[in-house]
């Protein structure tokens, strides 16, 4: 990861301030001083993140015959995490600075053996630090009642494989997808939401024959690239592949998709060949070998399916969308002694914008007919916000800051010509649209 340059810090400070000011993302438990690594998505952040999740679900599950969905519990049998290796091996090496008392991940020290905060070389020897979040299930808080908040959403997919396969009559090759919370006790949460302790994952495990697995790996690489470039409209120039050189012994290939964040290139998604590792581990630990295998009618033998995984973090994707959307340009102003002012505008694709169309009466007297317009848009599943506070210019600025692609203004002429003015966030062009064509006009424009 790149060093924190002043440019980077200034950009991130502006983005974090905007996110708080406009109710997109802010620290959890702020009135208690915040809680490091935990974030709340506010009234504008929740619809934004949910719409990215919905776009992923539609693209990965609903639009395909060979991928089905799961919504599993967050806490599952503690043995699941023994089998997956998380209880014994899911750890980072950490070191403490004896002088300033800060704790660091050894692999993230810019200069080995030196504290990045105070420059001291007085560091403790590296120690393993398990990232699993623990809790207790049942009435007694002792070792026998320890359970874990899941560290990744994919393990329940492996555990439920057979039940899902039988209930959906799926045959290999097919995938199971799930979105949901994951928890990791990260030593050093940082870069806003990039590395959090509670975050959302969106994962798909594709079960196939080993002989076809490399073809499926290539297929999913292309599909995932298309998701970012075609659905979320991230420019190709800001994405790149990062191949893993060190592979787990069971894996044939592993690649990450990286985005160019203001703080440097970093991972948003991993596409991993997991071999038969997960299924054979769960067979071993559960004793239910048949539930972890499929039957080959030709050879009359049961075998472990090979798994190709696509795994991404919704919060990292949201952060990528925020970084990519942020722009400062200039717009006309009515402020005294100025013709132009800086405008902050978020160029979100309409699909994920928290508000897709703001409905603005030119005067508070026009509330009733403007509310009628809002009803029409809501019935067409367009996310709207009604705003009649302040000058129309100020209202445009507020909508630009949350990335609203279209502002619909009802004015005094609307009473007579039955039309409204639609302003485009990106071009600031204005167009008069008849009210009876507005839903079609906006629906088309939102689909882009
Ligand atoms: N099942 C494989 C797996 O969990 P991972 O590379 O540990 O692989 C996959 O995580 C994705 O989850 C990452 O690419 C990232 O987008 C997201 N992710 C992982 N740790 C995260 C964290 N602490 N905060 C936010 N997102 C995280």
pLDDT at 275 over 70: yes
Q: Which residue has the tokens 């505008």?
A: 345
The whole-angstrom separation of Cα 128 and Cα 264 is 27
Q: Tell me how many degrees the CA angle 176-179-182 measures, rounded to the nearest 5.
A: 120
What residue's CA is closest to ligand 1, atom 15?
313
pLDDT at 77: 97
pLDDT at 295 over 60: yes
What residue's CA is closest to ligand 1, atom 4?
152
Give the C-alpha distances (Å, rounded to integers) separating 101 from 34, 98, 120, 295: 20, 5, 11, 56
pLDDT at 258 over 70: yes
Atom of ligand 1 nearest to the CA of 267: 14
Q: How confident is the model at residue 342 (pLDDT cuts 50, 70, 90)?
A: confident
To the nearest whole number, what is the mean pLDDT of the chain? 95
Instruction: Name the residue with higher pLDDT: 17 or 92.
Output: 17
pLDDT at 123 over 70: yes
Q: Which two tokens stand for residue 438?
A: 């507005």
Per-residue pLDDT, averaged over 204-227, amounts to 98
pLDDT at 397 over 50: yes
| Cα torsion through 179, 183, 188, 192, rounded to 10 | 40
Q: Which of 6-10, 127-131, 351-355 has the lowest mean pLDDT?
A: 6-10
Separation of 266 CA from ligand 1 center, angstroms? 11
Helices (H), 257-330: 277-286, 314-325
Q: Which two tokens stand for residue 251?
A: 């894996």
pLDDT at 1 over 70: no
Atom of ligand 1 nearest to the CA of 152: 4
Q: How confident is the model at residue 14 (pLDDT cuts 50, 70, 90)?
A: very high
In our burial notation (b when 16+ CB lie closer than 10 A, e otherwise), range 218-232 reads: eebbeebbebbeebb
Per-residue pLDDT, averaged over 75-103, amounts to 94
Helix (H) or strand (E) holding 360: strand 357-361
Separation of 397 CA from ligand 1 center, angstroms? 35
pLDDT digits (tens, 9 = 90+) for 373-388: 999 999 999 999 999 9
Mapped onto helix, strand or coil, the DSSP state of residue 332 is strand
Per-residue pLDDT, averaged over 360-378, amounts to 98
Per-residue pLDDT, averaged over 12-33, amounts to 97
Beta bridge partners of 201: 180, 313
pLDDT at 264: 95
pLDDT at 283: 98
What residue's CA is closest to ligand 1, atom 18?
313
Q: Which of 214, 210, 314, 208 is nearest to 255 (CA)?
A: 214
Contacts of residue 18, Cβ cutoff 8 Å, sequence gap at least 6: 24, 326, 344, 346, 401
What residue's CA is closest to ligand 1, atom 27?
313
* Substitution candidate for ligand 1 out of 154, 267, 275, 322 with most atoms within 8 A of CB: 267
Per-residue pLDDT, averaged over 342-346, amounts to 93
Pairing between β-strand 294-296 and β-strand 301-303 as defined by DSSP bridges: antiparallel
pLDDT at 329: 86
Count the alpha carbons within 13 Å of 356 in the hemisphere toward its beta carbon. Answer: 22
What residue's CA is closest to ligand 1, atom 6?
270
Q: How confident is the model at residue 2 (pLDDT cuts 50, 70, 90)?
A: very low
What residue's CA is closest to ligand 1, atom 26?
313
* Substitution candidate for ligand 1 out of 193, 270, 281 with most atoms within 8 A of CB: 270
Q: Which of 90, 93, 130, 131 is nearest to 113 (CA)?
A: 93
| Ligand 1 site residues, Cβ closer than 6 angstroms | 152, 154, 184, 186, 195-196, 199, 201, 203, 267-270, 311-313, 315-316
Q: Which two tokens stand for residue 417?
A: 């010509």
Atom of ligand 1 nearest to the CA of 153: 1
pLDDT digits (tens, 9 = 90+) for 200-210: 999 999 999 99
**CA torsion sign, 60 to 65 to 71 to 77?**
negative
How far out from the chain centre does Cα 65 lie? 24
Long-range contacts from 130-134, C-beta under 8 angstroms, 24+ separation: 130/87, 130/90, 130/91, 130/185, 131/90, 131/91, 131/92, 131/184, 131/185, 131/186, 132/81, 132/86, 132/87, 132/90, 132/184, 132/185, 133/183, 133/184, 133/185, 133/197
| Cα torsion through 133, 139, 143, 146, rounded to 10 | -30
Separation of 77 CA from ligand 1 center, angstroms? 22
The whole-angstrom separation of Cα 159 and Cα 139 is 26
What residue's CA is closest to ligand 1, atom 14?
269
pLDDT at 91 over 60: yes
Per-residue pLDDT, averaged over 151-169, amounts to 98
Contacts of residue 302, Cβ cutoff 8 Å, sequence gap at least 6: 289, 290, 293, 294, 295, 296
Mapped onto helix, strand or coil, the DSSP state of residue 302 is strand
pLDDT at 403 over 60: yes
Q: How confident is the model at residue 248 (pLDDT cuts 50, 70, 90)?
A: confident
pLDDT digits (tens, 9 = 90+) for 28-68: 999 999 999 999 999 999 999 999 999 999 999 999 999 99
Q: How many residues comprise the chain? A: 448
pLDDT at 4: 44
pLDDT digits (tens, 9 = 90+) for 411-448: 999 999 999 999 999 999 999 999 999 999 999 999 98
CB 444, CB 422: distance < 8 Å: no
Separation of 417 CA from ligand 1 center, angstroms? 53
pLDDT at 6: 59
Q: How confident is the model at residue 3 (pLDDT cuts 50, 70, 90)?
A: very low
pLDDT at 158: 98
What residue's CA is closest to ligand 1, atom 20?
195
């Amino acid at each position: 990861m790149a060093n924190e340059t002043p440019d980077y810090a200034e950009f991130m400070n502006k983005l974090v301030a905007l996110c708080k000011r406009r109710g997109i993302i802010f620290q959890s438990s702020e009135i208690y001083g915040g809680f490091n690594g935990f974030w709340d998505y506010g009234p504008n952040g929740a619809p934004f993140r949910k719409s990215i999740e919905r776009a992923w679900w539609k693209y990965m599950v609903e639009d395909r015959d060979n991928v089905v969905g799961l919504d599993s519990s967050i806490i599952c049998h503690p043995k699941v995490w023994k089998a997956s290796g998380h209880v014994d091996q899911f750890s980072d090496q950490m070191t403490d600075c004896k002088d300033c008392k800060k704790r660091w991940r050894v692999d993230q020290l810019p200069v080995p053996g030196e504290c990045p905060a105070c420059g001291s070389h007085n560091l403790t020897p590296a120690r393993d630090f398990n990232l699993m979040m623990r809790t207790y299930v049942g009435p007694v808080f002792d070792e026998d009642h320890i359970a874990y908040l899941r560290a990744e959403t994919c393990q329940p997919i492996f555990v439920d494989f057979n039940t899902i396969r039988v209930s959906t009559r799926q045959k290999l090759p097919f995938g199971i997808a799930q979105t949901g919370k994951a928890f990791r006790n990260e030593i050093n949460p940082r870069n806003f939401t990039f590395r959090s302790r509670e975050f959302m994952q969106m994962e798909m495990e594709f079960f196939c024959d080993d002989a076809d697995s490399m073809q499926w790996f290539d297929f999913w690489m292309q599909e995932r690239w298309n998701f970012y470039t075609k659905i979320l409209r991230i420019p190709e120039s800001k994405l790149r592949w990062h191949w893993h050189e060190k592979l787990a012994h069971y894996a044939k290939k592993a690649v990450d998709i990286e985005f160019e964040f203001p703080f440097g290139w970093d991972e948003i998604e991993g596409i991993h060949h997991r071999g038969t590792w997960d299924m054979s581990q769960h067979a071993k630990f559960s004793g239910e070998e048949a539930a972890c295998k499929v039957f080959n009618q030709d050879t009359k033998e049961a075998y472990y399916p090979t798994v190709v995984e696509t795994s991404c973090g919704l919060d990292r994707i949201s952060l990528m969308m925020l970084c990519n959307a942020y722009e400062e340009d200039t717009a006309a102003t009515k402020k005294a002694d100025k013709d132009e002012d800086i405008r902050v505008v978020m160029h979100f694709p309409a699909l994920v914008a928290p508000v897709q169309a703001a409905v603005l009466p030119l005067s508070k007297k026009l509330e009733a007919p403007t509310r009628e317009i809002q009803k029409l848009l809501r019935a067409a599943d367009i996310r709207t916000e009604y705003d009649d506070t302040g000058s129309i210019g100020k209202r445009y600025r507020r909508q630009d800051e949350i990335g609203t692609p279209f502002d619909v203004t009802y004015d005094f002429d609307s009473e007579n010509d039955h039309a409204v003015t639609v302003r485009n966030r990106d071009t600031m062009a204005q167009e008069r649209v008849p009210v009876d064509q507005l839903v079609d006009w906006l629906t088309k424009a939102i689909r882009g």
